């Protein structure tokens, strides 16, 4: 998806995709969640060129998603571990995985993910921490936030009223 960006889009989704939307990046991060930490292990699992893999890992380190840590000296060897910012991609990776499991795996999921204490398959949801409830898009109100910037050249206008997701607009 990169190196092209979504400059004209004042949108957190666009910003996220500029970083994790690069081809292979989410699959590398999937492998880190599965316990892979070392370059040669990523390479063996991903069947991707060493150049591409090295570039993706470097970008993830630069973006503060992975940390490169030395685990051996003489010769120096490094492994990659998730930072807090990287760990916080867990809901996104889990959500794409869960959707693929439902719609794109005719033989059933290739891998199961269950809650350890009870063995129940993990779901991916939007969640209200106040009500401790799963939230469907119909129950979400959206409005401009503090980081809103009007498109270049547009006239200043008062913010519109909050709208429900999925309500026809424009």
Binding residues among 70-109 for its own copies as defined by CB under 8 A: 82, 85, 87-109
CA–CA separation, 91 and 99 (whole Å)? 12
Shortest spacing between CB 125 and its own copies, in angstroms:
5
Q: Which residues contact 136 (CB under 8 A, 6 or more apart)?
A: 126
Taking CB under 8 A as the criterion, which residues in 24-43 touch its own copies?
A: 26-27, 30, 33-38, 41
- Is residue 18 a contact partner of residue 2, using CB atoms and an 8 Å limit? yes
Shortest spacing between CB 73 and its own copies, in angstroms:
19
* Contact status: 6 vs its own copies (CB under 8 A): yes
SS3 70: strand
H-helix or E-strand spanning residue 163: strand 163-164
The binder of its own copies chosen from 50, 69, 77, 123 (CB under 8 A):
123
Taking CB under 8 A as the criterion, which residues in 142-161 touch its own copies?
A: 142-149
């Amino acid at each position: 998806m990169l190196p092209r960006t979504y400059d004209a889009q004042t949108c957190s989704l666009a910003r996220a995709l500029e970083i994790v939307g690069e081809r292979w990046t989410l699959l590398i991060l999937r492998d880190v969640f599965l316990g892979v930490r070392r370059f040669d292990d990523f390479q063996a699992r991903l069947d991707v060129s060493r150049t591409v893999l090295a570039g993706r890992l470097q970008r993830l380190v630069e973006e503060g998603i992975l940390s490169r840590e030395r685990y051996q000296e003489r010769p120096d060897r490094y492994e990659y571990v998730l930072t807090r910012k990287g760990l916080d991609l867990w809901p996104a990776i889990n959500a794409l995985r869960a959707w693929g499991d439902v719609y794109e795996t005719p033989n059933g999921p290739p891998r199961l993910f269950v809650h350890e204490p009870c063995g129940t398959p993990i779901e991916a949801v939007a969640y209200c921490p106040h009500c401790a409830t799963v939230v469907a898009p119909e129950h979400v109100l959206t409005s401009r936030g503090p980081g809103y910037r009007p498109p270049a050249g547009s006239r200043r206008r008062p913010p519109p009223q909050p709208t429900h997701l999925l309500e026809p607009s424009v």
